[in-house]
């Protein structure tokens, strides 16, 4: 990964972190201080205009605070999947072939041992 890409990813990650921390903090405050028994004016007096606005407008709260969090998590998951699928394997073709040959040999030995054990149990039963 070149320096420009790395720097861009760090900046994007920092911006995402700030947005997530802000959204999660606001949502915790809104949900923690919400009371169904309180009127809209009472919420403004006890929680302040900003938090009371979110408490009095649940649709806008969802659109401005909750939805961006879901979108960020979704975009990060898609990026992770794309990045992991593009990353080349550290094994060479010869190493992969050697691992496959070794696995085949071990499987053959296990099958032979099972067949031998099965034949021995048949002979014992007779």
Average pLDDT over residues 13-34: 92
Q: What is the pTM of this model?
A: 0.60
pLDDT at 124 over 80: no
pLDDT-derived band at 27 (thresholds 50, 70, 90) equals: very high
Q: Crossing angle for the helix pair 3-33 and 67-86, nearest 10 degrees?
A: 150
pLDDT at 1: 67
Q: What is the Cα 26 distance to its own chain's centre? A: 22
- Can you tell me whether residue 123 is helix, strand or coil? helix
Query: pLDDT digits over 35-49, tens only?
Result: 777 787 887 888 888
């Amino acid at each position: 990964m070149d320096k420009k890409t790395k720097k861009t990813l760090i900046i994007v990650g920092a911006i995402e972190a700030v947005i997530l921390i802000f959204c999660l903090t606001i949502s915790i405050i809104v949900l923690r201080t919400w009371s169904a028994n309180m009127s809209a004016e009472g919420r403004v007096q006890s929680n302040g205009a900003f938090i009371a606005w979110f408490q009095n407008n649940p649709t806008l709260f969802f659109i401005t605070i909750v939805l961006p969090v879901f979108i960020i998590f979704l975009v990060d998951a898609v990026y992770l999947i794309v990045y992991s699928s593009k990353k080349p394997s550290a094994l060479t073709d010869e190493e992969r072939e050697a691992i496959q040959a070794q696995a085949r040999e071990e499987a053959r030995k296990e099958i032979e041992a099972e067949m031998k054990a099965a034949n021995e149990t048949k002979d014992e039963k007779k």
